[in-house]
Amino acid sequence: MNSPTRLSPKEEDELIRTIISSGLNEHHFDSLARTIDEYPQNIYPKSSNNEDKANIIVTRANQKEKCHLIKSELSSFFSIQSNNLYPKTLDNQIALSFGKLYEDLLRAIESEDIGHLEEFIHQDKIIENKDNHTEFKVKLEKKAQFTESTRELAFIHKNDNSVMQRKAKKLGYKSYSNMEIKVGQLYQSVLTEYPVGQYPAERRLRELLHKLYSFLPEKHQDKVDTTDYLYGIIFGTASRCLIFNE
């Protein structure tokens, strides 16, 4: 059994990552907090995501030299419900990477003044869960007038984005509607620079991709999946009728 001792910064970070990638729900986090004699509501806000909770719990546990209790409690979760509770570890890691990119990108965009388009962000402009393949297909072909190859890629990236959002949401990442509004605002600046009638939709797609990429922190820029994630964000936003409405 592990003896009470403080973890090194590296060990603390590894434990935090283990917790985040384990797909825990609210009850599990509450259990971890109580394991180190803390009331959940006293150590993290109710609005905290899973990454925040993991950081706070491990930091407090390490201060109290009780990280061995956290590890023991985690082991019990795995032994009791490992076949039913947890997604595959690889799936968790991919969803975690995706969710982190979303949050870092949103934070970077929000730090810049890209204009206040009140007429654009009204909620009645956002179609909640009503987009379907027929509407999206018509939008890509008739409104945006994308080429056939671009339309095929759009469906792939839009669907992948939807799947990744669901997985990342289970890990505590929930900023998707805010991201879509920001992408919509960025697209308005692209439209101004590359107006309909003078430039094809592919040019505006490429410029929007470049704008999003320029906001990314350096740690995300060279990752192999980054471009796919950004295309997913773009076409996910398009499917909500927020961009490419020309």
**pTM across the whole model:** 0.61
Q: Which residues pair with 84 in a beta bridge?
A: none
Q: Is residue 111 predicted with pLDDT exceeding 80?
A: yes
What mean pLDDT comes out for the span 107-121?
Answer: 65
Q: Is residue 77 predicted with pLDDT exceeding 80?
A: no
More confident residue, 123 or 226: 226
Alpha-helix residue ranges (DSSP H) falling in the chain:
9-20, 26-35, 40-43, 50-63, 67-81, 89-110, 118-121, 133-138, 148-170, 176-193, 201-215, 218-221, 226-239
d(CA 49, CA 151): 35
What mean pLDDT comes out for the span 232-242?
Answer: 91
What mean pLDDT comes out for the span 63-79?
Answer: 83
What mean pLDDT comes out for the span 141-157?
Answer: 90
Q: Is residue 30 predicted with pLDDT exceeding 50?
A: yes
Query: Taking a C-beta distance cutoff of 8 angstroms, is the pair 4, 59 a contact?
Result: no
What mean pLDDT comes out for the span 146-158?
Answer: 90
What mean pLDDT comes out for the span 103-111?
Answer: 89
Looking at 80-89, 110-119, 146-155, 229-238, which range is the least confident one? 80-89
Mean residue pLDDT of the chain comes to: 81
Q: Is residue 117 predicted with pLDDT exceeding 80?
A: no
Q: Is residue 125 predicted with pLDDT exceeding 80?
A: no
* Rama region for 168: left / alpha / beta (φ>0; ψ in -120 to 50; rest): alpha
Coil/strand/helix, residue 234: helix
